[in-house]
């Protein structure tokens, strides 16, 4: 079955915009769960990014029985033994994530500030079959917030000398963890839609 619309298990406008930009060339419309009428907030109690992504995807799929996309992302800091990791979204009150992390890293020297962003995207097709795609972006934690684009930890995550908040959305999509995971899914869905046309 050709996929023309996907419900994304999020109400985060930034995540939604990234997905919309990536899937638009396939003629696939991505809408939020709120737009689709799926008012649900499942408990993200998984131990891994993949488990949390699947929890969110299945919660929306169980209501709508249509193609659903969900992701779970986090920042893994080596000096903090991988924290905040799967708890990234709940590490600090919204808007205070960078401040709390910078405080935790205040005595860590530059050479030990390595970190990585990780995203796992979960996709369920109309029949509920699962696809998982992972994206990883290595970088480092800066010493201060920089830039006005992006969201979450973007102002303190450095990639090739710039914070993610200093990248345009197009630049970030090309190199980011979520961009990588979504591009992997893009290739899978492109093949699926092409196969659909070939089989008709």
d(CA 82, CA 76): 4
148 token code pair:
């006005």
d(CA 15, CA 10): 8
- 127 in catalytic set: no
Catalytic residue among 62, 71, 72, 78: 72
Helix and strand element counts for the chain (H, E): 6, 7
CA-wise closest residue to 142 among 117, 169, 162: 162
d(CA 99, CA 72): 22
Classify residue 146 as left (phi > 0), alpha (psi -120 to 50) or beta: beta
Q: Which residues contact 97 (CB under 8 A, 6 or more apart)?
A: 88, 91, 152, 153
DSSP H or E stretch at residue 19 = helix 13-23
d(CA 117, CA 175): 11
Active site residues: 72
């Amino acid at each position: 079955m050709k996929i023309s619309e996907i419900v994304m298990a999020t109400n985060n406008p930034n995540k939604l915009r990234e997905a919309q930009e990536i899937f638009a060339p396939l003629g696939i419309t991505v809408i939020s769960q709120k737009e689709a009428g799926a008012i649900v907030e499942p408990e993200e109690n998984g131990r891994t990014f993949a488990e949390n992504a699947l929890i969110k995807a299945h919660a929306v799929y169980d209501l709508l029985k249509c193609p659903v996309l969900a992701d779970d992302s986090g920042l893994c800091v080596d000096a903090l033994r991988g924290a905040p990791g799967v708890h990234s979204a709940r590490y600090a009150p919204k808007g205070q994530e960078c401040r709390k992390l910078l405080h935790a890293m205040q005595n860590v020297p530059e050479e030990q500030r390595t970190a990585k962003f990780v995203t796992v995207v979960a996709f369920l097709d109309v029949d509920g079959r699962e696809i998982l795609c992972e994206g990883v972006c290595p970088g480092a934690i800066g010493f201060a917030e920089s830039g006005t684009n992006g969201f979450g930890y973007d102002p303190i995550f450095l990639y090739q000398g710039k914070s993610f908040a200093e990248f345009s959305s197009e630049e970030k999509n090309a190199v980011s963890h979520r961009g990588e995971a979504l591009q992997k899914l893009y290739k899978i869905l492109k093949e699926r839609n092409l196969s659909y046309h070939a089989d008709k």
